[in-house]
Structure 1
Amino acid sequence: MPQSSGTVSAAAGRGKVLVAVDFGTTFTSVAYAHTAEAAGPHLLMSWGEGGDNTEGQVPTVLRYDNGEMSGPYVWGYRAQRWAQQSERIHEWFKLGLCDDFEERRARESELAKLYDSKTAKPPVKGEDCEKLVRDYLVGIKQAVDKKLGADEQVAAMERLYIITVPALWDYSEQEKTRTCAERADMGKGSEITLIPESEAAGIWAIKNMPSIEEGDAFVVCDAGGGTVDLTSFRVKSLSKNRRQCELVGAGAGSGGLCGSIFLNRIFEKYLEEKLQDYPSWDPDFMIDALGAFETRIKPNFSGRNRDAHFIRIQGLKPSPRHGIKKNFLELTDDELRVNVFDIVINKIRVLVRDQIKHTEGSVKEVVLAGGFGRNPYLKRRLQNLDCVVRQGIKVSEFEDSATAIVKGAVTASLYGLERATVAFDGAFNFMSTRRVGVVSRKAGRHYGTWGYDDYKDGDPIEKKYGALDDGLAVSRKANMMRRERRDDGVKVARMHWFAKMNDDIPNGEPQYYPYEKIAKVIPGKKAHEVCLIDIPIFVCEKRNPPEYRNDPNAWKITDFSLDLQGLTIPTIPHNGGRTRFYKANFEIEMILEATSLTFCGVYGRNTPDERRCPAKKVSFK
């Protein structure tokens, strides 16, 4: 019996549908959950116009009919089929959203230099990249609409999207992903949530790794197709039923361009070199070889198989010295290990080793996520790391490693939605019993400003500044124990790093850093004009930040000006009262969240004279 519209309307009011999209470099996955039911998350297994394959992932690729970037296009598995016919298509376009960072990673990546794609069009950036991302997400949304629209009750529910973003990207670049999702009609503003991929994986680990307990530190290694990213967490609190958990960051994240797609490229190059003098080789044979490598050899490679791998390629003529029998190519585990797998896995081992080294406290477990996370050989090589053996660290993998991040994103969004919900909608709501989230994170960079400070023994001579005629000085309040020298003496432009790399920053909670502005009173000039507070905010990604201004390792990401017009600014005497100086106490407010970072200048906080001036939008370029 068909449902009445009233029944559908009532069902729609009983909850929301949360749709998470793990927008990956090489593959994308989607999961969803209904807040009105206790089941889920559910994986999307059908991709509509993206292809008939019933898989939990779909290739992140595009192909336009005109061969460029306009007009009709296909995406996903349908686009991938064109690449299998040696046509160049758009791949890896996600990385163009953060081109500065990813270009730097590419320059530092030996694999990216040596093994480029033979099927990818030249990389794009800027508006061209955003168009590709938008078009791809349109395809994803259409597939979601087709699946969820088949159920009348579900189709009537409000739909909220969650998009995963790389944790190592800066916040303005992460925000580009939201913009592309908005243009793909996934929602507006707060209807779209961004979550770092590593945090989604960490949250899913708590749900699925019973060996992780309260107080434990663990490392998530997201071994994806294009990139490998690592993050460290510590379990701050964990309920017995594991449905309530708070995670805190235990180390700055790291990563590199050494994902499993490089295995395919290395394998292809190895075969070309191995068979370069094989007279009967046809370039079309490579399609069969790569297909077998991708589906059979790569996922299950252990490095211990005594039996050879046989790839059936119709048309091959026997050649014993090339390992070729009639219609079969023979490859041993040893040759694949040395010539293909070790080249990539050795890079991952270095990343994991360094992440363990820079994690606060003892690491109990390394959890492997991502499509390559279930590879037996990768797990074994990580288990054999000296630091893993010495410290007794467990190495484990998600049973569903390829889709762990997207499932964790749904779980995390349930926690976030529960915190934000203030009105009961009359529905059964299970979110209050499934509170899992990251409550604090490690600062991944140093943040600071600069000010004139007294010249000290040990300061470089070339950093000396002469006497300041107007006595302007900005100094950290904590450093005010020394005698101030305002209108005479020698100064140095010194950096003050108020938030340092690996500092614990509570999620979403304002942090305040006190400073003072000292300015000489000038007769006939208004106080607020003399005491205008102009503060630049700098960032440094090196572990040891520079001490002095104008260092290339530190660059400005934003600034603000505090205008104190209309306020009474206190003065202090100097030189026995013959000279007076304005002394304005103010604070730099910093709010760090998973995918946002903001600064604000604050004068007179929690007083009637409170004045706030938000900084400009943070940009890491």
Structure 2
Amino acid sequence: MTPNLLDDSLVVGIDFGTTFSGVAYAYSAAKPKPDQISVVKVWPGSSGETCEKVPSDVVYVSPRRKPTSSTPGPPSRRGARFVANGGTILEDPNIDGGSGPFFFRAARSRPHPNPPTSLVPGMKWGYSVGPDELRLQCMKLLLDPNQALPEYVKRDVLEQHLREAGKTAEEVVTDYLTALYHHARERIVLEFGEAFMASTKMEFVLTVPAVWSDKAKDATLRAARKAGIPGNIRMISEPEAAAVYTLQSIQPNHLEIGDNFIVGDGGGGTFDIISYEIKNITPLRLEESVEGQGDVCGAALLNYRFEDYVKSKIGHTKFEEIRRTRKWRTALNYFEEYVKRNFDPEDDTEFHIPMPGIPDMPAAGIESGYMVLSSAEVGRLFFPIIKRIMELLQVQVTRLKQKNKRVSAIILVGGFGRSVCLNKCVRREFAADDMAIPQVMQPAHAWTAVVCGAVLRGLEGTEIVLSRKARRHYGVRFDKSYDPDVHPVSCREWDPREERYKAMNRMIWYIHKGQAMSSSEPLLFTFYRNFPRGAAKIATDELVVCDQDIAPDGYSAGSGSSTSILCKLRADLSTVPRSYWQDSSNSAGQSFSRIEYQLGMHIESGSIKFDLRVHGVSYGNVVVEFE
């Protein structure tokens, strides 16, 4: 087999994250290796310092709301409360005449702010946002209304932020992606030149969380298009992108066909696990081994636990005093950037957390401006999060071994993937004979593995992952002839067109949870329709999903139901040749035209697409409306 690389195009990967975002790129004709992919490291407001990512923060300097007479200018910082991942919640009853929490990010030691970007009037983003400016954070999370949020993020708080800004979540994401895309393009122009950019095709690959709903993925894609990102934007799940980068970075002579690798992608909010089996080495081709998993046990939870720890030591009243100052920001930044990354559970090193200006409190371990944390105390902060990650990994390893799969390594990527503690705990957990894993690997560029993997996927031009495991059941509801020996009376209903009783809202599941789904062959859903003579030939069908391990025989709606409608599919059958239609009528003299057709569902890493087929011939795309 030979690679099917794109010819003469510039591939750009965009990793829009909950707390940080990144951009990487490569020129396809240069046939770059994984370590030759360029990452944008210079950002507005960074004062010349380089960083592989930029905060996913936005501030609108001319909000639609007006401050009350008691709050001229910037809002007061009275009642400020810091939360996980370097953020604070500002609780100020003087804002809009009531108490309402607002997110702020702890400052990094760099000058602020920069002028608003001219691309989105009145908006600043990333490092250009000042430390005390009211900002919108974590807006990405609201694109998936059904996704569980981390415990430190409150949905009503985020929604209040949107009301204050007069924006929807999708509008804020669009504004941020607009700024991110145009800045990245400016950096790329500096390297390649405007003439090159004008004559070279650009391909974009956008990453999305594996646990996201298809509706949220569709909203992200819409926002990217509204942001002006051109062309046919591809999407890839974050753990799959990380796996592609990591496995392509490994020397081919260290890989064998049949090897299985578990990839753990640790972000701020979630930890996603996915496993792949190597099916071909050059070019690299993979198959998802078992169904992936994930949970809200990311690195930002450590910040939340650290806050609770400090509060327990110095008391609620004292903590309320320091959280309003830069003293707490300094402590939280040190914990974020040094303690979390370097804590080693096998080392007795003490950590001295700087708390400048805080008086000595020997009982709380604070002396000379530092809070001293023992290794055991830090370990207790890590323990419940590490424990949950170990449980997820154990389930994944067990499933692989039950299928007699050879597990060659666990690969840790993402920001949390750089943790020394996580590495040591995984090594120790899977050293026992019954769970023995030969290697635990941490790539050198773990934080950018996702965005670089997106670029590699775009460079490849064809699917690297040949098949994936379904994370839920997919099917359609239909009506069939009523059988009193099979169907409950409650589902019986008379069909006046076909003049017979039918069992209503029965389910046929075309895809079952855990089933292998080909990346190249569509899954076909078969339907038939009776159209009244002369009526518009527009068919609307609904795709139903179920997240339970065992799917039910019938469809039901409501909060306690295990089934739900994923999307509505609208197909125009007017272009189908007349020869495929069958005419019929009933005893009432009503005439109908009947047709059988199929909807083809294409499963991709970060999205699904549909087309219309009759007798194996495609008659165009299907309009999808997610519920």
TM exceeds 0.5? Answer: yes
- Given that 2:513 and 2:549 are in contact with CA atoms closer than 8 Å, whether structure 1 keeps it comes out as yes
Among 131, 138, 146, the alignment partner of 1:92 is 138
Secondary structure of 1:194's counterpart equals strand
Partner of 2:605: 594
Aligned to 2:105: none
The alignment's TM-score, normalised by the length of structure 1, stands at 0.76
d(CA) in 2 for partners of 1:55, 1:63? 20
Q: Counterparts in 2 of 1:373-522, with a 5 A limit?
A: 373-385=417-429, 390-393=434-437, 394-416=439-461, 419=462, 437-453=464-480, 459=486, 461-465=488-492, 471=498, 487=500, 491=503, 493-514=505-526
8 Å CA contact 2:15, 2:451 repeated in 1: yes
Q: Which residue of 1 aligns with 2:362?
A: 320
Task: Tell me, yes or no, if the aligned pair for 1:598 and 1:618 is still in contact at 8 Å.
Answer: no
Contact between 2:570 and 2:624, CA under 8 Å: does it hold in 1? no
Moved more, 563-572 or 378-387: 563-572
- Post-superposition offset of 1:437: 1.4
Distance in 2 of aligned mates of 1:275 and 1:548? 57
Amino acid of the residue matched to residue 271 of structure 2?
Answer: V
1:617 to 602, 616, 624: 624
1:284-318 CA deviation, whole Å, 9 max, x = no partner?
32112112111211111122321211123332333
| Amino acid corresponding to residue 138 of structure 2 in structure 1 | W
Relative to structure 1, the CA distance from residue 467 to residue 292 in structure 2 (aligned partners, 3 Å threshold; closer, same or farther) is: closer
Matched with 1:176 is: 219
2:189 alignment counterpart: 149
Match of 1:236 in 2: 279
Q: Does 1:254 align with 2:299?
A: no
Cα gap change, 1:221 to 1:67, in 2 (>3 Å)? farther
> What is the deviation of 1:43?
1.7
Aligned to 1:480: none
CA contact (8 A) 1:53 1:77 kept: no
Report deviation, 1:415.
0.3
1:53 alignment partner in structure 2: 49
Distance (Å, rounded) in 2 between the aligned partners of 1:194 and 1:352: 26
CA distance in 2, matches of 1:290, 1:505: 44
Query: SS of the counterpart of 2:545?
Result: strand
Counterparts of residues 298-313 of structure 1 (less than 5 Å) = 298-313=340-355
SS in 2 for 1:45: coil
Contact 2:255–2:281 (Cα < 8 Å) also in 1: no
Q: Deviations over 1:63-103 (max 9, x none)?
A: 23246798533322232x51xx4x542111122222x133x
Letter in 1 for 2:214: Y
Q: Is the 8 A contact 1:230 1:352 kept in 2?
A: yes
- More displaced stretch, 383-392 vs 341-350: 383-392
Q: Which residue of 2 aligns with 1:430?
A: none
One-letter amino acid of the structure 2 residue matched with residue 602 of structure 1: R
* Residues 9-408 of structure 1: pairs in structure 2 closer than 5 A: 15-39=8-32, 40-49=36-45, 51-66=47-62, 71-79=121-129, 81-82=130-131, 85=132, 87-98=133-144, 100-102=145-147, 105-106=148-149, 109-110=150-151, 112=153, 122=161, 128-151=168-191, 153=193, 156-157=196-197, 158=200, 159-187=202-230, 189-190=231-232, 192-210=233-251, 211-239=254-282, 244-276=283-315, 282-283=322-323, 284=325, 285-338=327-380, 340-358=381-399, 362=405, 363-385=407-429, 390-393=434-437, 394-408=439-453
**C-alpha distance in 2, partners of 1:126/1:501?**
40
- The AA in structure 2 aligned to 1:365 is A
> 1:49–1:139: 8 Å Cα contact kept in structure 2?
no
CA gap of 1:568–1:509, structure 2 versus 1, over 3 A, is closer
Query: Deviation digits for residues 339-371 of structure 1, max 9, x if unmatched?
Result: x21232233333333444555653443221111
406-415 or 158-167, larger mean C-alpha shift: 158-167
Cα distance change on mapping 1:465 and 1:18 into 2, 3 Å? same
| Structure 1 position 277, deviation (Å) | 7.4
Contact 2:262 2:276 (8 Å CA) reproduced = yes
Quote the offset at 1:547 in angstroms.
0.8
SS of residue paired to 2:418? coil
CA contact under 8 A between 2:162 and 2:168: conserved in structure 1?
no
Aligned to 2:93: none
Shift of the 536–140 alpha-carbon distance from structure 1 to 2, 3 Å rule, reads closer
Maintained 8 Å contact 2:478/2:506: yes
Q: Structure 2 CA distance, aligned partners of 1:463 and 1:361?
A: 45
CA distance in 1, matches of 2:175, 2:495: 57
Q: Is the CA contact 2:343–2:420 (under 8 Å) kept in the aligned structure 1?
A: yes
Matches of 2:167 and 2:318 in 1, distance apart? Answer: 46
Cα distance in 1 for partners of 2:187, 2:497 equals: 69
Rg larger for: 1
Give the direction of change, closer, same or farther, for the CA distance of 1:178–1:349 in structure 2 (3 Å limit).
Answer: same
Deviation (angstroms), 1:413: 0.7
Residue type matched to 2:554 in 1?
Y
Partners in 2 of 1:584 and 1:138 — Cα distance? 45
**Which stretch has the larger CA shift, 310-319 or 68-77?**
68-77
- Asked whether the 8 Å contact 2:58–2:125 carries over to 1, the reply is yes
Give the conservation status (yes or no) of the 8 Å contact 1:111–1:258.
Answer: no
- AA partner of residue 378 (structure 1): L
Q: Distance in 2 between matches of 1:212 and 1:123?
A: 48
Out of 597, 605, 613, the residue aligned to residue 616 of structure 2 is 605
8 A Cα contact 2:12 2:24, kept in partner = yes
Residue type at the aligned position of 2:488: I
- 1:352 maps to a residue whose letter is L
Instruction: Report what 2:549 is aligned to.
Output: 543
RMSD: 3.9
C-alpha separation in 1, matches of 2:491 and 2:30: 67
Q: Does the 8 A contact of 1:560 with 1:600 survive in 2?
A: no
Q: Supply the distance in 2 between the matched residues of 1:117 and 1:553 (Cα, whole angstroms).
A: 26
Distance 1:601-1:147 versus aligned 2 partners, 3 A rule: closer
C-alpha change, 1:91 and 1:569, in structure 2 (3 Å) is: closer
Contact 1:252–1:502 (8 Å) recurs in 2: yes
Identity among equivalent pairs (%): 25
Count of aligned pairs between the two proteins: 541
- Answer yes or no: is the 8 Å Cα contact 1:223–1:373 preserved in 2: yes
Unaligned residue ranges in structure 2 (runs of 5+): 1-6, 66-119, 585-591
Query: What one-letter code is carried by the residue in structure 2 that aligns with 1:445?
Result: R
Name the TM-score, length of structure 2 as normaliser.
0.75
What SS is found at the alignment partner of 2:29?
coil
Partner of 1:90, secondary structure, is coil
- Distance in 1, matches of 2:612 and 2:541, equals 8
Q: Is the 8 A contact 1:217 1:364 kept in 2?
A: yes
From the superposition, tell whether residues 527 and 566 of structure 1 become closer, same or farther in structure 2 (CA, over 3 Å).
farther
1:249 & 1:206 partners in 2: Cα distance?
13
CA contact (8 A) 2:540 2:568 kept: no
Secondary structure of 1:343 counterpart: helix
Q: 1 CA distance for matches of 2:138 and 2:126?
A: 12
